[in-house]
Chains A and B, each alone.
Chain A
Amino acid sequence: MTALADPPIVEARRDGERSLVVAFAVMVALLVVGPFVVYPVFLMQALCFALFACAFNLLVGYVGLLSFGHALFFGWASYLCAHAAKRWGFPPEAAVLFGTLSGAVLGLVAGSIAIRRQGIYFAMITLALAQMMYFVAVRAPFTGGEDGIQDVPRGHLFGVFDLSHEMTMYVFILVMVLASFLFIYRIINSPFGEVLKAIRENEPRAISLGYNTDRYKLCAFVLSATLAGLAGALKALVFQLASLTDVYWTMSGEVVLMTLVGGLGTVFGPVVGAFLIVAMENYLAQFGQWVLVIQGVIFVACVLVFRRGIVGELAHALGVRL
């Protein structure tokens, strides 16, 4: 039997943790300085999508389930948050909570249906469910059809902080997204996360060890949908708008794109991917339809050149976890 070269032992792993701490500090620093350099609205939009992509990555990167219907949770949470804030007069914290919980409920329903399928069938069922709910959104009167729900009031957070102030809103979004980011990191580094990784690596083996893998997958699906819902709800407050774009299948595609470009199954990849794609959409908007083509080219380039995504390649090159 071949003797192995001396194995990389605990040292390397502790370094991996350190690289994560450094990267997190850099990210926080950039986000604190950010609103003084670029438009806060742009940053808030990117942050919402970063959270959306992180939530999506939790499922695809750590359980190996490729959902092609995450717009369902993002978009519907956005509608319900907007509706609660505008028509029912909910304060922002309650409206966001309501939107987030709706993501959880929708996740439970969609997940229960989809979870028994594997691979491409799983992706197709999630897509079909999302499209079905898209048509519901088109038809349902409360969504406002093509107009969406406009002029959603941001209100006063806890009755104190006036979110119509751009900087106050920014701090609110930043805190929510960073807290969710840390929460997701906790999930993937929990006893539960260990089982998820085992299922991703070898599901039959996980079953043979006595894990009821469907229940773990469903739990991960609901967590992912809940956080996607939070992202959608926050986005509704940022733009004071919920619209059909957020439930359309292109939104599901966009989050796949962000995650792949940034790096599937990496901690920071979805954030980098989201910022990149949102920046592209904003700054290339002048090219109209060409944005799609440029996105397509980037996507193909990523798949061909950066198999691991930007952050994935970087982490690989530096030999650390990111």
Chain B
Amino acid sequence: MPRRSALYALTDNADNGSGWGKRVPGDTVLETEDLTKDFAGFVAVRAVNLRVARGAIHAMIGPNGAGKTTCFNLLSKFLSPTRGRIVFDGRDITALRPAEVARLGLVRSFQISAVFPHLTVLENVRIALQRRRGGSFDFWRGKSVLRTLDERAGVLLADVGLAAYAHVPAVQLPYGRKRALEIATTIALDPQMLLLDEPMSGMGREDIERISALIKSLAVHRTVLMVEHNLSVVANLCDRITVLSRGEVLAEGDYRTVSADPAVREAYLGTGHA
């Protein structure tokens, strides 16, 4: 799968002014400091210090209501943190707006499938490609200028097994395929880092394998932070795991370390997970 992303991974943006240390490949790409979100007294995320290494597939797991999605909302700036700081790629993004964060190359997906329902599958992916192409304010031009993007969109759809559905309105796709479409749309932006919130929920086994392989291939030049409930997927795919419980980091490490941690076992058993 040839991808342009190599450029991204190798570009050295040495212009970070945040003083969070020099950038070396394999070094920290995303870091939070004391990240906290207080919903009118209910602290959903509490003093989270997260470090994600460049090129890693990093999992965030935890029982329902642990604050994983809230964490993603903070990282993508869909919510403003009550306290704390977020540094992405050597740049403090705490004060940025969500669209700006996305344009820096930190792109999120949503836990509840987020497609453009009445656009076709191809148009869904093309919207993402169009953002990188530019010229999206050109209201006087015909949309036929976007046809140059169709080929790339077709490749992206093929990668997630949706080539046959290119001209179907997204709303008609079954749930699992919508998730695949969402991933294709996210990848179309060629982001430096992906935040995937339960990307494989609702998928059949075959699709899980396909998407796992896809995520693995992505992470060659990119970083992935993903929430995933399917622990066998996590065990196979992820280099590092952060366990969240009641808004706090309970444990961190590789799968062996984390799964052996008594606190983690208790948190999971306590809420009925395996």
> Which residues of A are interface residues toward B (Cβ below 8 A)?
1-2, 4, 7-10, 13, 186-187, 189-195, 197-198, 201-202, 204-213, 215-216, 219, 223
Instruction: Considering the complex, give the chain A residue whose CB is closest to the CB of B203.
Output: A1
Q: Is the CB of B127 within 8 A of A192?
A: no
Q: Does B11 contact A (CB under 8 A)?
A: no
* Distance between Cα atoms of A205 and B108 in the complex (Å): 9
* Distance between Cα atoms of A13 and B167 in the complex (Å): 9
Q: Is the CB of A197 within 8 A of B168?
A: no
A211's contact among B99, B123, B138, by CB below 8 Å, is which?
B99
Instruction: Considering the complex, give the chain A residue whose CB is closest to the CB of B134.
Output: A191
> Which residues of B are interface residues toward A (Cβ below 8 A)?
76, 78, 97-100, 102-103, 107-110, 114-119, 123, 126-128, 130-131, 135-143, 145-146, 164-168, 172-174, 176-177, 185, 189, 203-204, 206-207
6 contacts between A and B (CB under 8 A): A1-B206, A4-B172, A9-B167, A191-B130, A202-B117, A209-B185
Note all chain A residues with C-beta closer than 8 A to B143: 189-191, 193-194
Note all chain B residues with C-beta closer than 8 A to A2: 174
Note all chain B residues with C-beta closer than 8 A to A212: 97, 99-100
Minimum-distance CB pairs A-B, first 5 = A210-B102, A192-B139, A201-B116, A7-B168, A205-B114
Given A1-B204, A2-B174, A201-B118, residue A211 in contact with residue B131 (CB < 8 A): yes
Min Cβ gap A107→B in Å is 14
Given A7-B167, A7-B168, A192-B138, residue A197 in contact with residue B131 (CB < 8 A): no
* Distance between Cα atoms of A203 and B106 in the complex (Å): 18
Instruction: Considering the complex, give the chain B residue whose CB is closest to the CB of A220.
Output: B139
Given A209-B127, A210-B102, residue A192 in contact with residue B137 (CB < 8 A): yes
Q: Is the CB of A195 within 8 A of B142?
A: no
Q: Is the CB of B127 within 8 A of A187?
A: no
Note all chain A residues with C-beta closer than 8 A to B137: 191-192, 215-216, 219
Given A194-B146, A202-B117, residue A209 in contact with residue B168 (CB < 8 A): no
Interface of A is mostly: helix
Note all chain A residues with C-beta closer than 8 A to B185: 209
Given A7-B168, A205-B115, residue A194 in contact with residue B127 (CB < 8 A): yes
B99's contact among A1, A7, A197, A207, by CB below 8 Å, is which?
A207
Most buried by A among B78, B100, B119, B127: B127
* Distance between Cα atoms of A210 and B142 in the complex (Å): 22
Q: Is the CB of A190 within 8 A of B141?
A: yes
16 A-B pairs besides A2-B174, A193-B139 with CB distance below 8 A are: A7-B165, A189-B143, A190-B138, A191-B143, A191-B145, A192-B137, A198-B119, A202-B114, A202-B117, A204-B114, A208-B78, A209-B107, A209-B131, A211-B136, A219-B137, A219-B139
Given A4-B165, A13-B167, residue A190 in contact with residue B172 (CB < 8 A): no
Q: Is the CB of A191 within 8 A of B138?
A: yes
* Distance between Cα atoms of A108 and B130 in the complex (Å): 26
Instruction: Considering the complex, give the chain B residue whose CB is closest to the CB of A2.
Output: B174
Q: Is the CB of B99 within 8 A of A210?
A: yes
Min Cβ gap B185→A in Å is 7
Most buried by A among B128, B136, B146, B173: B136
Note all chain B residues with C-beta closer than 8 A to A191: 130, 135-139, 141, 143, 145-146
Q: Is the CB of B127 within 8 A of A206?
A: yes
Note all chain A residues with C-beta closer than 8 A to B126: 194
Note all chain B residues with C-beta closer than 8 A to A215: 137
Min Cβ gap B101→A in Å is 8
Instruction: Considering the complex, give the chain B residue whose CB is closest to the CB of A205.
Output: B114
Q: Is the CB of B116 within 8 A of A207?
A: no
Instruction: Considering the complex, give the chain B residue whose CB is closest to the CB of A210.
Output: B102
Min Cβ gap B187→A in Å is 12
* Distance between Cα atoms of A1 and B164 in the complex (Å): 14
Q: Is the CB of A210 within 8 A of B103?
A: yes
Note all chain A residues with C-beta closer than 8 A to B167: 7-10, 13
